[in-house]
Amino acid sequence: MSFEAVVLAGGKGTRLAPFTHVLPKPLLPVGERPILDLVLTQLSSAGCTKATMAVGHLGHLIEIYCGTGERWNMEIGYFRETTPLGTVGALALIDDLPDVPFIVMNGDVLSDLSFTELLEQCGETGAALTIGAFRRRERDELGILEVSDDGLLQAYREKPEHEYLVSMGIYAFAREAVQMIPRNERMDFPDLVGALLDSGRDVRTLVHSDYWLDLGRPDDFARANEEFEDIRGRLGV
């Protein structure tokens, strides 16, 4: 299956400062390779023939590194964001997006999610948007008190775990989702989801339970570097 993708690579990466003062976040290394190299390798292996990089902060370094995409055997183009447009605002201004579902993803995620499965579900269900979703567990590092309004302790839980279904930052977009994004105006992903739901359009999820890290988070970035040699095979990189 061949497909196209948009890689969102324009953020400032403030959570990973000071490293992102000199390098854009997608060029920070996991193992000895930039995050973006891993992402593009996975896209190419899955059948991506064209990727548009939406760049902003230090975007010229991404353009120098990626070039025309020859090393990944795909075509790479660029959308240069000159004013902040939010996490999805750039999509309204990218020319020649395909009429069939395509991948939109953050340039700093590491996962073995199947792009093909995500696209196939989007196409088969007719959804305007399909969100890659991950069940993530987080542990509170404090003792949690449950207290009544008059101060009476009702329960004490030491470092409880919580499970959340979270967005992976990997999506399958149909054209109708892009058409909901205003041109030359800021729009973030939650605003787009809200607009789609308010208009009665179908938004679905594909739940993934294997491997996913948000490398914009310092803890996940450190974990990826610790685990990389052990998990690179399952990631196909």
C-alpha dihedral over 151, 155, 157, 161, to 10 degrees? -110
Mean per-residue pLDDT over the chain, rounded: 92
Q: How many domains does the chain have?
A: 1
| CATH code for the domain of 43 | 3.90.550.10
Closest listed residue to residue 4, CA positions, set 86, 119, 87: 119
Residue 166, pLDDT above cutoff 80: yes
Residue 22 in 3-state DSSP? coil
Residue 153 lies in a domain: no
Residue 17 lies in a domain: yes
Residue 170 lies in a domain: yes
Residue 213 CA to residue 44 CA, distance in Å, equals 20
Residue 130, pLDDT above cutoff 90: yes
Residue 191: which H helix or E strand, with range?
A: helix 189-198
Task: Convert the pLDDT of each residue in 171-227 to its tens digit.
Answer: 999 999 999 999 999 999 999 999 999 999 999 999 998 999 999 889 999 999 999
